[in-house]
Amino acid sequence: MIKDYIKLVAVFLVFFITINLEINKVTPPLFSYFFCALILLFGIAAYRRHRTKYVRTMFIVLAAVQFISCLVLPYWILNRSLPLNASWPYFPEVIWTAGTLAVWYYAISFVLIPVAVYLYGRRAWCSFVCGTGATAETIGDSYRTAGPKAAGVPRGFTAFKWVVLALSVAATVLALAGYSRASLFNLVFLVFFILFLRTLLMQAVNIILMPRFGNRIWCRYFCPQGLVAGLISRAGRFALVRDDSLCSRCGTCTRNCSMAVDITGGPAVNRSGECVGCGVCVEVCPQQALSMTTGRVTVPDKAGIPG
Ligand code: SF4
Ligand code: SF4
């Protein structure tokens, strides 16, 4: 366990130092090189630990997406610094600092993500495209069983992402009203969004405490993008389906769920907005009782009620 913490502190320090060098324009794109290298390195190890085609494909896609959207397109081709897979409300500043790429960030934030999530579930963003999701799935792959699960998650704790979303909306409205040029606005943004949210919670806590709280601490408790994607996914076509004629209620799926979805005890057709569609529960189920669908659900639950 100590080795795990040492490894994760080293990863955090690499991220922290290189991203700050990049913010200060000292050595861009050093962070992106390290980030892509770590995703590739841990992604290969994670790929080898898993056996289903779906989960393995996820590792390949997310590594390719990070390489293209964090390094190749912004730095090698467009000569810009913001990753193309940044989005509102996770990165509210894309709305007021994007310049000529504003159209792209509006499109990805308000059209592409909502439509993809509605059609294919939250996984379309959180497991295949998001950079923090990529960190969780690769660097955090060994820590899926850590942390509270299902009913063990303190309910009030997950309310914090609503606060982050409200502050993202407030910052956006103020910035569009012209406050982004004021030094007080920039100071509050630096302290809350950059230092508190992104440095302390999204990097330090989310990475270093994985062995204690699991691999998706940020996604589970803090992310405003995940909150919005979850609400859309809940209303959309994606569902995790449990075939109760096969399920033995062993709880293996729930223990392996990084998003603490109550798979064993929840409904047979689960449209929890928390599920990021990583596919690991389907992979580990010894009874092969689980599947994911975006179509009409026909599997009946124990009471014989079709989903
Ligand atoms: S919850 Fe947030 S950080 Fe996690 S994968 Fe989804 S958008 Fe990314
Ligand atoms: S319910 Fe299954 S697919 Fe969804 S996040 Fe949990 S383990 Fe992944």
Are residues 273 and 181 both part of a single domain? no
Q: How many domains does the chain have?
A: 2
What does the pLDDT read at residue 81? Answer: 75
Ligand 2 atom at minimal distance to the Cα of residue 263: 1
Share above pLDDT 90 across residues of the chain, in percent, rounded to a whole number: 79
Domain-terminating residue out of 176, 203, 230 = 230
- Is the pLDDT at 296 greater than 90? The verdict is no
Q: What is the CA radius of gyration of the chain?
A: 19
When pLDDT is averaged across residues 43-59 and rounded to a whole number, the result is 96
Are residues 220 and 266 both part of a single domain? no
Residue 282 lies in a domain: yes
Are residues 211 and 276 both part of a single domain? no
- Is the pLDDT at 51 greater than 90? The verdict is yes
What does the pLDDT read at residue 98? Answer: 75
Are residues 45 and 127 both part of a single domain? yes
Domain-terminating residue out of 179, 206, 230 = 230
Q: How far apart are CA 220 and CA 167, in angstroms?
A: 18
- Is the pLDDT at 250 greater than 90? The verdict is yes
For ligand 1, residues with CB inside 6 Å are: 90, 125-126, 130, 132-133, 218-219, 223, 225-226, 229
Are residues 165 and 90 both part of a single domain? yes
- Is the pLDDT at 303 greater than 60? The verdict is no
Our mutation pick for probing the ligand 2 site, out of 57, 263, 276, counting the most ligand atoms within 8 A of Cβ, is 276
Are residues 82 and 193 both part of a single domain? yes
Residue 83 lies in a domain: yes
* Ligand 2 within 6 A of CB of 279: yes
Structural domain boundaries, residue 266:
238-293
pLDDT digits (tens, 9 = 90+) for 178-230: 998 899 999 999 999 999 999 999 999 999 999 999 999 999 999 999 999 99
Give 131 or 78, the one with higher predicted confidence.
131
Domain-terminating residue out of 230, 254, 276 = 230
Are residues 103 and 210 both part of a single domain? yes
Question: Dihedral of CA 34/39/45/48: which sign?
Answer: negative
Residue 264 lies in a domain: yes
What does the pLDDT read at residue 84? Answer: 93
Residue 305 lies in a domain: no
Distances 88 to 150, 202, 288 between C-alpha atoms, Å: 28, 16, 37
Are residues 30 and 172 both part of a single domain? yes
Residue 246's domain is classified under what CATH number? Answer: 3.30.70.20
Residue 215 lies in a domain: yes
Are residues 53 and 192 both part of a single domain? yes
pLDDT digits (tens, 9 = 90+) for 69-113: 999 998 899 887 789 999 999 999 999 887 788 899 999 999 999
Residue 88 lies in a domain: yes
Are residues 22 and 49 both part of a single domain? yes
E strands in the chain: 239-242, 269-270, 290-293
* Ligand 2 within 6 A of CB of 130: no
What is the pTM for the complete model shown?
0.90
Ligand 2 atom at minimal distance to the Cα of residue 278: 8
Q: How far apart are CA 270 and CA 262, in angstroms?
A: 9
Residue 242 lies in a domain: yes
Token pair of 290 as six digits: 């689980």
Q: Report how far ligand 2's centroid is from the alpha carbon of 37 (Å).
A: 26
Our mutation pick for probing the ligand 1 site, out of 61, 62, 130, counting the most ligand atoms within 8 A of Cβ, is 130
Are residues 196 and 244 both part of a single domain? no
Residue 131 lies in a domain: yes
Are residues 216 and 288 both part of a single domain? no
